[in-house]
Structure 1
Amino acid sequence: MFVDNVSILVKGGDGGNGIVAFRREKYEPKGGPAGGDGGRGGDVIFRVDEGLRTLMDFRYQKHFKAKRGENGRSKSQHGKNAEPLVVRVPPGTVVYEKETKNVIADLTRHGQEAVIARGGRGGRGNIRFANPKNPAPHLAENGEPGMERQVELELKLLADVGLIGYPSVGKSTLLSVVTAAKPKIGAYPFTTIHPNLGVVEVEDGRSFVMADLPGLIEGAHEGVGLGYQFLRHVERTRMLIHVVDMAATEGREPYQDWLHINEELKKYREALARRPQIVAANKMDLPGAEENFKQFKEAVGQEVSVYPVSSATRQGLRELLFAVADRLDALPTESPDEEEEERKIYRSEAPPTPFTIHRENEIYVVEGERVEKLVRMTNFQYDESIRRFAHILKEMGVDDALRAKGAKAGDTVRILDMEFDFQD
């Protein structure tokens, strides 16, 4: 089964906790602080594996979570960093932030990697908080939570040549004849509902990858039929073979077919209409094809390369494949979509509000990424940690904001699942 679009959840590992510890040696029963830092949580890394061809595995595993870092230890020993979680993806995978649709990574080359979710840093042990005023602190941090995000994976097939055209014009048959691929072939629209790949070997030793893509119809750029699924894969090809049914077996006029398909490419993305293209005038062995071929050649003009072929009798296939190989030799080896498309530039916006406050009945609820992270990283077992927590909230302006909202001494304040009494 070919799968080319999935949504998954990835989470970096949480950082290990720092600890409170002191040196306890034979002649130093009251030694200084010796609590080590926690280790860093593992990153979630996507790595390209050229042996993969679909996103099928992600249909069965939707959650990917890296391991957390080790907690710190006594004798000033830091916890071990967690190993990254490496997730294998096929070449041509584009990773999007599901909510914003921003591109996180575009992975095309074997071995290419991208960090999708970073692990949290380890919490600091009490050796980090020692100073002349407080040489023996009873204070340590919990590990930072790892990044968690919902991402969308989209596979854009990587092939040198893409076969395009209306359904049932003979694309699958052409692929099966010139390669060892065995696509499903039938005399009805949308026989091909998933892309098929095959390697073409030309007589002089050259070779290239050809993709038989699902057929296009009018309105494909708006998602009609298999439009989006088809056009996604066309983007990656270096050139196109436009297969046209010269025998008009479906009752359509060949020249109009050619115009409509090119119009759909242009409407979806202007760059696709400029992609190098060769026309394979197929089904030349059938009645009426010769007359239609002459009319087609006159209509498209001399600038369009047209090769009369028959997949059934193999007529003209040798000439077509040599022409494709010659054209590929003259093209850049990289897929052209990145150079041709307009790049989206994501500019940094103003930093979000540090926190917000609202009331739920008699409780004042404080929300915000920074204050919530502070709660998660504070070890409330120690009085010094609690005092540090209160001091940081005051420095952030949370106390003043609560007073402005009407909070009085003894009122309940909630951050995440923690509730506190407000002290004025």
Structure 2
Amino acid sequence: MQFIDYAEIEVQAGNGGDGIVAFRREKYVPAGGPAGGNGGRGGSIYLEADEQLQTLLDFKYSRYFKADNGKRGGPNNCTGASGQDLIIQVPCGTLIYDLTSEETIGDLTQPKQQICVAQGGKGGLGNRHFLSNHNRAPEYALPGLEGEQRRLRLELKLLAEVGIIGLPNAGKSTLIAALSSARPKIANYPFTTLVPNLGVVRKPTGDGTVFADIPGLIAGAHAGIGLGHEFLRHIERTRLLVHLIDITANNPIEDFHTIQDELKAYGKGLSSRTQILVLNKTDAAEEDLKAIVKEELAQYTPLPILEISAATGEGLETLLNLVWQNLEKLSEATPLMPE
């Protein structure tokens, strides 16, 4: 499935039906009077969050949506039928903006949550509505009002509590595969992961927590360089970041600074998000190297530094325990130290 997290669409609510001019003329009704019915209201357009959807791919091919118009009023004071509302399904985590005003219309985060993005037009009044002591036989009615028309921008921000970040080849996809049932594409070259991968990891209590493997950031990602710029927005909703560093890389310390600098440059509070620092691929590193890297990193950050091997499973239980503790105590200034 192609991952699309941005789309622009146009929505047109239905127009209201026209009111009509009509009079009762039954044979045995001496005072018939006006009997023109009101027009029906136009259909409105709603966006609804659907937990089964993971992408905005559908809107790549369908960009214009229109609800039904209301029907015109009928004789004998009959109101016209209302136009059917149109409900458009979007993934949970979709933000809706008005393209003209840049106003934020809504944020759909819960399954079945709905928001009206275009209001249907009101039906016009029939001539029965204008009956008065001064006008016993009104011969005019009102047309229906036009439905609301809007151009919208949809942005998908993944709903994941834990985001796994790091440079390309840090082992993020291997880690999420080891922790969950997710099966991302894994290979030994940069930018294997071209889309965010989601995996559900079970807590000891049995509840599921969503982890997101964010595609590799590189220096300058916040300014549009590389792939990371496309997916930095997905980190915004995460409560906890697992910063993965390849200890076998040429310069793990520089790699650490690269990611931290990108979080600061992007802004929106990402640099102050609770983090756990993890050295990966420790099964392929000598003990002396591990000690040197940890000692140098400790000079730049107060974060706890864990050692794991996503490939062999070493240290994963300790990592998960720390994740669960931090999710429960996010009000603390710094992550908890592992026991």
Q: How far is 1:95 from its partner? A: 0.7
2:276 alignment partner AA: I
What is the CA–CA distance in structure 2 between the aligned matches of 1:125 and 1:293, rounded to whole Å?
84
1:83 alignment partner AA: Q
Q: How far is 1:228 from its partner? A: 2.8
Partner of 1:318: 317
Partner of 1:125: 126
Cα distance per residue 1:270-300 (max 9 Å; x no partner): 4111111001100111235751553334433
Secondary structure of 2:309's match? coil
Query: Is contact 1:255-1:296 (8 Å) kept?
Result: no
The equivalences for 1:160-171 within 5 A come to: 160-171=161-172
What is the CA–CA distance in structure 2 between the aligned matches of 1:315 and 1:206, rounded to whole Å?
23
The equivalences for 1:42-121 within 5 A come to: 42-121=43-122
The equivalences for 1:272-287 within 5 A come to: 272-287=270-285
What is the CA–CA distance in structure 1 between the aligned matches of 2:139 and 2:120, rounded to whole Å?
26
Query: Is contact 1:246-1:289 (8 Å) kept?
Result: no
Higher Rg: 1
The equivalences for 1:143-182 within 5 A come to: 143-182=144-183
What is the CA–CA distance in structure 2 between the aligned matches of 1:299 and 1:89, rounded to whole Å?
42
Query: Is contact 1:15-1:123 (8 Å) kept?
Result: yes
What is the CA–CA distance in structure 2 between the aligned matches of 1:206 and 1:128, rounded to whole Å?
58
Q: How far is 1:190 from its partner? A: 1.3
What is the CA–CA distance in structure 1 between the aligned matches of 2:191 and 2:229, rounded to whole Å?
14
Q: How far is 1:237 from its partner? A: 0.8
What is the CA–CA distance in structure 1 between the aligned matches of 2:17 and 2:229, rounded to whole Å?
44
Query: Is contact 2:166-2:243 (8 Å) kept?
Result: yes
Query: Is contact 1:44-1:119 (8 Å) kept?
Result: yes
What is the CA–CA distance in structure 1 between the aligned matches of 2:40 and 2:315, rounded to whole Å?
65
What is the CA–CA distance in structure 2 between the aligned matches of 1:29 and 1:204, rounded to whole Å?
77
What is the CA–CA distance in structure 1 between the aligned matches of 2:47 and 2:296, rounded to whole Å?
51
1:227 alignment partner AA: G
Q: How far is 1:80 from its partner? A: 2.3
Q: How far is 1:216 from its partner? A: 0.6
Secondary structure of 2:269's match? helix
What is the CA–CA distance in structure 2 between the aligned matches of 1:203 and 1:42, rounded to whole Å?
47
What is the CA–CA distance in structure 2 between the aligned matches of 1:15 and 1:289, rounded to whole Å?
75
Give structure 2 stretches of 5+ with no counterpart. 332-339
Cα distance per residue 1:389-411 (max 9 Å; x no partner): xxxxxxxxxxxxxxxxxxxxxxx
Q: How far is 1:203 from its partner? A: 5.2
Give structure 1 stretches of 5+ with no counterpart. 333-424
Q: How far is 1:96 from its partner? A: 1.0
Structure 1 position 327 matched with structure 2 position 318 = no
Partner of 2:337: none
Q: How far is 1:66 from its partner? A: 1.0
Partner of 1:212: 213
TM, length-normalised to structure 1: 0.74
What is the CA–CA distance in structure 2 between the aligned matches of 1:270 and 1:290, rounded to whole Å?
38
What is the CA–CA distance in structure 2 between the aligned matches of 1:293 and 1:82, rounded to whole Å?
70
Query: Is contact 2:253-2:296 (8 Å) kept?
Result: no
* C-alpha distance 290-325 of structure 1, shift in aligned 2 (>3 A): farther
Secondary structure of 2:278's match? strand
2:294 alignment partner AA: F
Cα distance per residue 1:101-153 (max 9 Å; x no partner): 22111111112111000000001111122333332122112211111111111
Secondary structure of 2:143's match? coil
* C-alpha distance 293-206 of structure 1, shift in aligned 2 (>3 A): farther
Query: Is contact 1:284-1:290 (8 Å) kept?
Result: no
* C-alpha distance 306-141 of structure 1, shift in aligned 2 (>3 A): same
Cα distance per residue 1:12-50 (max 9 Å; x no partner): 111011111001111346721110110111110111111
Partner of 2:334: none
Partner of 1:257: 255
Q: Percent identity?
A: 47
Partner of 1:291: 289
**More RCO (CA 8 Å, sep 6+):** 2
Q: How far is 1:204 from its partner? A: 6.1
2:124 alignment partner AA: G
Secondary structure of 2:47's match? strand
Q: How far is 1:164 from its partner? A: 0.4
Q: What is the aligned residue count?
A: 329
